[in-house]
Chains A and B, each alone.
Chain A
Amino acid sequence: MQAANMLLKKIVRCSAFSFSIQHGLKQGMFPLRRTLVLSPCLKDDNARGSSEKVDLDAWKEVMKSGLQEVSETVSEPKELSALAAARETLELWRLVGRPVPENITDEQMKAFMECPSKSAQKKYLKYLHLKEQHKKNNKRKMEEKRERRLEAQERASESEKPKKSSFVCLWGSSMDRAYNWRVAQSMIFGQPLVFDMSYEKYMSAREVANAVKQMVLSEGCNRRSADPFHIHFCNFKDDSLYHKEFIKHYRGAWDKLLITVTDQCYTDIFPKDKLIYLTADSPKVMKTFDHDKIYIVGSMVDKSIKTGVSLAQAKRLGLETAALPLEKYLLWNCGAKNLTLDQMMHILLTLKDTGDWKKALEFVPRRKYCGFVNKPLHELKKTLNLVNMLKHGKRAEELQKRFANNYSKRLIQK
């Protein structure tokens, strides 16, 4: 053992020795030592000589000489205010390559300082960073578009051709008018659809913003549909966060929207036996879309899944509940079964128009399911096989058998 140790030591020494000989210096001994630069115009293929003429600590000189100028400008207040210090830190983080926004307003800075924990700070910075990136990309795309349009115009002006058309080009506004007529009709004769706005206390500000965004989208797709719903926003409190966000989105159009906004509860407006609360936690599964019922959608975004909140609301008011038959029609893959409000809207509109579940459930995000159930059995097996192979590796066969058994049982029960 000892002999081996000695040998090892010798070898190490040897190599170190040769190394130091080769490089002509001892590491770490003289940190500020400067070796002479011999001739700067050595041939670069002369590798062995080249290592000797590299001055390894020259960078420190460069850095420190650059400092004289810098230190004259800085060098005074060592004590920074907390805000300034945080700003500096962010700048350095950006240099290191963390996801930090380049420009940050004082308001955002304050929000950053008020974050309860370091991880919250990190998340907030990342969010701002991504927001900034999106903004930049959009700007870039807009500019490219503008350039393309200008080019196209130039080309068009070269080949001047008067177009003949029996329509005046008023697509946008006339479409709008047509849509508004339809929605106005639905306000009088249409089937009501209720958005329940009583979940503000369960949500963070960002979740409320997301929920409002989704509701704006659903209002838009409702307006464009052939047979729109009459949308009700119930339990809507003035000057709530919801309200503020809606004003942000719609600005002046908020008061002209063809929807009913009320602070009343839906139970005060509609007869209780006609109301059905749609919630993913419901034990009852919706079989068909009923044109005489009034469906309620809880306008809540829960990034951290809060199970049973809307079900509790329905229980409290003694309402009937229903969940979409996702299990029945889709081979669910992964992801939560709560869908976004605009997806919900699309699905309900499609059901209303066609009554075709398959068509309606195409609005469920593709990543969440592997396929539709009504495929022939061998194809279904193939999909399952694949999924299991991906998920469980070898135990796939057994699982598949079990699943197939259960599945046939379930079908028999239904």
Chain B
Amino acid sequence: MALFSQPSQHGLQALLWKSRVFWPVSRCNQLFAVPFGISKRDKISSFSFMTSSSTALPVDPQGTDACPSKKRSEGDYEEEKGWDEDTQEIHEGNVRFSSSGGTLKKQLMNHTVSRHKFATVQPPTRPLCAEEWNRLRESFQSPETFEEVMFNSMVRYNSPIDVAKSLLTHVAKSNGDIGYNLLVKYLALCVQQGKTSEIRDVYDIMKIRFKILESGAYNLLIRGLGNSDQWRMALTLLEEVKKVTVPSRSNYESCIKAAGRHQEMALACELYHEMLAKDLVPTLDVLQALFDYSRGVRDPVLQKEMFGVLLYLRENQIYPHKTFMRSIKLWFESIPGEKWIGHLTNIKDSGQCPVCNHQLEDSELTEEEYNNLREKIIRDVIHGTDTFRKTSPQEFEAFQTFVENRLPFDIVIDGLNISHIMPRKVQCENLFEAVNCLAKDYSRLLVLGRKHMLTNSFNWKREVMKEMQNKADFFFAENISEDDAFLLYATLRSGKHCKFVTRDFLRDHKACLSDSVTRHLFRKWQRGHQIVFFPSAGGKHINFLPACSYDCVVQTTGDTWHIPYKDTFEEKYSYQIPRKWLCLQQKYRTT
């Protein structure tokens, strides 16, 4: 805690007051307090200035939320157990609720007492006889739903299976039949505990009682049987599901994992392809399982399949998470006789891999891709269903001729967006600074704005605007037009070297594009051509982050692979790119 030594307190306080960052400091307090085990008194003394100063906000040292909220990312994956270097065993019978990364949430839910009114039902710990069940039922607030609620809580508390059986027996004896819903819930309990014989029995009973089952039961059966030694049953069930509807991806996941677990890799790959053919998006778990189970297998066909999976990641711009990346690394290193070596690294801005000095693919599009993207931008983003929604035909035509007459630009600037960079400054000054800054590096600038910038006002001073127009070309759209679409068009029209400047993530424009191929193209182009400004700490001048010169996708040269990956807990949006890479290279035997 030398950071907060006595003499520096005043300075620090002033600094804090200036930049108004109390929150991080309180976090700091915690972060430091934990590893160094500072006693409470020390903490108070070192932070006394926080509370004594009347201007400071009160800081609650317990107030921070240590667990970052985890949002659903583009590729779903479930939380993994702590990854172990030597062995990664898959716990059989431990049902993990996959899909949409919800496991963590579910676990948390289990720990917190939910405020549902039925959550108070504690299932008994031993089998009860009919009398006792009856008594429990009578004491329950709404007896008609008693069995269902009881089964739900049994699943939640993972009660012994005998307790559930005794309740089923009681129901069967008193009604002469057991409802489908109870059977499904009992099945869930069996699946949760991996009781294969019970699962089989329930399935037999269901088969005779009902002509057909529904998706929930099939899900449970396939998952339960897939985790057992009777996993071939799961495959036949999958066929059954196909007759009625398209199986869910979790169905496929269970089957693929089961096939992999029993080293039937050909079958696993076949199922995987079938899944892709049905337009299902495989969970990252499935892909990871493929890598895990084919580890150490010498089979050129299988190897090709795995490369196919990596190319699938490439095509869809999916970034594996850390554990998945480890599986890939181990798989590569386990290929007999090929001597792959994997390293984790960060790629430099230049796009060179520090490990193998390989230059990554650059983010340039081909001429054909450029034209395709430009056409799609005009068709979907600018015109859409109605040209008048974002602009008007006359205006767009005027803009097109304007651009054609002044081509090519080196950089296109979203004037209004940049003018808001520093909220305390007058807008035209922000823009003026940015234009000056960029004029040093680029010769032909285009600034897009709206007509209201031309009326002399507090925020838009006429002299400043005049001066700027000497340095750059300006185009002013109507006040109710969308200037972003023009920005995209002008940049694309100018060609490969042209960059654009805006802090907008352009998500809504990407969403306008009709097909996913073009959307991926758009993202790739955006990464390589967008320059993002950020004000420097002093607030005096403006810096900007250069565009990413290399393409951030899984890539190979045959004897090297470079795979970007993300940390599990990082929130990643579609416009963010991972900085961490797995570099794999083949060491040839130097004989």
Contacts and interface: CB of A to CB of B under 8 A. Distances in A.
Interface string B10-24: 000000000000000
Contact of B181 (A96, A118, A309): A96
B198 A28 contact: yes
A32 B173 CA distance: 17
Interface stretch (B202-210, B282-290, B354-362, B426-434): B202-210
Contacts of A82: 244
B165 A64 contact: no
A377 interface: no
B423 to A, nearest CB: 10
Interface magnitude class on chain A: 35 or more
Contact of A71 (B172, B195, B198, B208): B208
Greatest chain B CB density within 10 A among A59, A309, A311 is at A59
A89 B241 CA distance: 11
B171 interface: yes
Interface in B438-485: 479-480
B309 to A, nearest CB: 25
Contacts of B246: 118
Interface in B104-156: 126-129, 131-132, 135, 148
Interface in A43-57: 44, 47, 50-51, 53-57
A283 B479 CA distance: 9
A63 B172 contact: yes
Interface in B203-241: 205, 208-217
B570 interface: no
B558 interface: no
B215 A89 contact: yes
B208 A56 contact: no
B131 A50 contact: yes
Per DSSP, are chain A's interface residues mostly helix, strand or loop, or mixed?
helix
A109 to B, nearest CB: 14
A205 interface: no
A54 B179 CA distance: 21
Contacts of A59: 165, 168-169, 171-173, 178
B544 interface: no
A3 interface: no
Contact of B132 (A50, A60, A80): A50
Nearest to A25: B162
B127 A56 contact: yes
Nearest to A284: B480
Contacts of A95: 179-181
Contact of B244 (A27, A44, A85, A202): A85
Nearest to A23: B162
Contacts of B127: 23, 51, 54, 56
Nearest to B216: A96
Per DSSP, are chain B's interface residues mostly helix, strand or loop, or mixed?
helix
A67 B172 CA distance: 13
A31 interface: yes
A93 to B, nearest CB: 5
A74 interface: yes
A62 B173 contact: yes
B212 A88 contact: yes
B212 A80 contact: yes
Contacts of A315: 388, 392, 480
Nearest to B183: A63
A145 B1 CA distance: 76
Contacts, number: 140
Contacts of B217: 92
A22 to B, nearest CB: 8
Contacts of A202: 385
Contacts of B209: 63, 67, 70
Interface residues of B, number: 58
B11 to A, nearest CB: 24
A44 B389 contact: no
A313 B392 CA distance: 11
A54 B168 CA distance: 11
Contacts of A62: 169, 172-173, 176-178
Interface in A198-213: 202
A316 interface: yes
B161 interface: yes
Contacts of B88: none
Interface in A72-98: 74, 80, 82, 85-86, 88-89, 92-93, 95-97
Greatest chain A CB density within 10 A among B128, B212, B213 is at B212
Interface in A201-233: 202
A58 interface: yes
Nearest to B478: A315
A283 B451 CA distance: 14
A47 B135 CA distance: 13
B270 interface: no
A54 B480 contact: no
A365 interface: no
A70 B208 contact: yes
B66 to A, nearest CB: 16
B583 interface: no
Contacts of A70: 208-209
Nearest to B134: A44
Nearest to A90: B214
Given A50-B129, A315-B392, A55 B169 contact: yes
Contact of B386 (A28, A47, A309): A309
B389 A312 contact: yes
A55 B168 CA distance: 10
B540 interface: no
Contact of B243 (A22, A44, A64, A85): A85
Contacts of A42: 129
Given A95-B181, A96-B216, A283 B480 contact: yes
A63 B177 contact: yes
Nearest to B387: A312
A66 interface: yes
A133 to B, nearest CB: 18
Given A89-B244, A95-B180, A53 B212 contact: no
B197 interface: yes
B338 interface: no
Contacts of B74: none
A53 B169 CA distance: 12
Interface in A8-42: 22-23, 27-28, 31-32, 42
Given A60-B205, A64-B208, A312 B386 contact: yes
A58 B173 contact: yes
Contacts of A44: 129, 131-132, 135
B184 interface: yes
B562 interface: no
B181 A88 contact: no
B505 to A, nearest CB: 18
Interface string B525-565: 00000000000000000000000000000000000000000
Contacts of A23: 126-127, 162
B74 to A, nearest CB: 18
Nearest to A92: B214
Contacts of B210: 88, 92
Interface string A302-320: 0000011101110110000
Contacts of A51: 126-129
A302 to B, nearest CB: 13
A88 B198 contact: no
Interface of A: 22-23, 27-28, 31-32, 42, 44, 47, 50-51, 53-60, 62-64, 66-67, 70-71, 74, 80, 82, 85-86, 88-89, 92-93, 95-97, 118, 202, 283, 307-309, 311-313, 315-316, 394
8 contacts: A42-B129, A54-B166, A54-B169, A56-B169, A59-B173, A60-B201, A60-B205, A96-B181
Q: Which 5 A-B pairs have the closest CB atoms?
A: A312-B388, A62-B172, A59-B172, A92-B214, A56-B165
Given A23-B162, A82-B244, 11 more contacts: A23-B127, A27-B161, A28-B195, A28-B196, A58-B169, A58-B173, A59-B172, A62-B176, A63-B177, A96-B214, A283-B480
